[in-house]
Amino acid sequence: MRMRYNASARAPRLQTRVLLCLALCGSIPGAAGAAAITGICPDGSVYIVQTEAQIPCAESKQVAPHEVPPIRPEYLPKPYTWQVWSEAQDPNNPYNLIDAARQVRGAGVPDAAGTAGGSPSVSAGPPGTQTPADAVGPLDLGLGDQELRNLFMIVELTQEKTPVQFARNTADGRGVFRVALAHSSAFEERLAQAWSSRGGLGDSRVVLFTALSKRPAEFHANFTFVQKHLSYQPDGASPRQLGILHGRLGSLQADEAVLGYVVLPEAMDLSREIDVYWNDRRTSARFRAAPATDRAGRATGSTPLY
């Protein structure tokens, strides 16, 4: 029997296979892009969903991915520890409102041991305003005025090679508040020696920070350091984690400067990139050069900037 080739019967199958291949490979315009919907909600948040039923808000604007404007800082992802700290410091947190209410109720109550015309007792101030007993200050470190000025200069000069700094407008919009961080091997060694008689700091690394405002402003060293899976936020009440060498935290006058230090966990490597958060701002940098290696890949030491 003689077989004949039916081209018309095979063409639809071949065409179907070609179209399926093109769709899977993304060669058909719109085939891959139809898998996701990008848009912006009225509150400024951005969403990426697969179907319109998953859009999280009403009256949203659907846009192409390249049309999405820069995301506002408050919508950027932040470490969990940063969120916990911010909530704990919020004066409207019910946990903090209880203490404030008790202070207000007790402010007008005279001391029971005093006379009827006596003055009420005066509290020592809110927590955190007193210097901890085990704090390490400039005198403990043998730092005079000139040494403190040198530390300020180290932080400033380091920004030229490894910038780790934040800048924002002051509350009145008439000045700039600037915060900078840097590593100093000499200061790190001196601080380790000062803590050697207080239990030591182990192999922890230390970074300096400065803050300067041209106008009156508030400053709190609420830093968060993130490296891979490790997130760390120093406790301002513990001098083993954070200390002030010059100035103060809180309300600053115009041109008032602050100099302090932060002790990082031993697991953090200053030669690798670290994400640093301050308030709603974030930057990434390496605080020191990576250790030099020979041809065999063996470490020959590091080259600190200062």
Give the lowest-confidence range in 54-58, 106-110, 133-137: 106-110
Q: Is domain 145-291 classified as CATH 2.60.40?
A: yes
pLDDT tens-digit series, residues 131-156: 455 566 676 677 888 888 999 999 99
Residues contacting residue 225 through CB under 8 Å, at least 6 positions apart: 231, 232, 233, 262, 264, 268, 274, 275, 276, 277
* CB-based burial, 120-130: b 16+ in 10 Å, e otherwise: eeeeeeeeeee
Pull the structure tokens for residue 84.
Answer: 């916990």
From edge to edge, which strands make up the β-sheet containing 61-62?
46-49, 37-40, 61-62
Q: What is the mean pLDDT of residues 215-231?
A: 87
CA dihedral 238, 240, 242, 245 (to 10 degrees): 110
Q: What is the pLDDT of residue 181?
A: 94
Q: Is the model more confident about 99 or about 284?
A: 284
Coil, strand or helix: which one is 113? coil
**192 near 201, Cβ under 8 Å?**
yes
Q: What is the pLDDT of residue 127?
A: 41
Q: Where are the domains of the chain?
A: 33-76, 145-291
The Cα 194–Cα 182 span in angstroms is 20
pLDDT tens-digit series, residues 156-175: 998 888 888 888 876 666 66
Q: What is the pLDDT of residue 259?
A: 93
Give the lowest-confidence range in 24-33, 161-170, 206-215, 251-260: 24-33
Arithmetic mean of pLDDT over the chain: 73
Q: What is the pLDDT of residue 22?
A: 43
Q: Which residue has the tokens 């513990």?
A: 238
Q: What is the pLDDT of residue 30?
A: 45
Element (DSSP H or E) covering residue 275: strand 274-278
Q: What is the mean pLDDT of residues 50-63?
A: 88
Q: What is the pLDDT of residue 173?
A: 62
The single-letter DSSP state of residue 39 is E
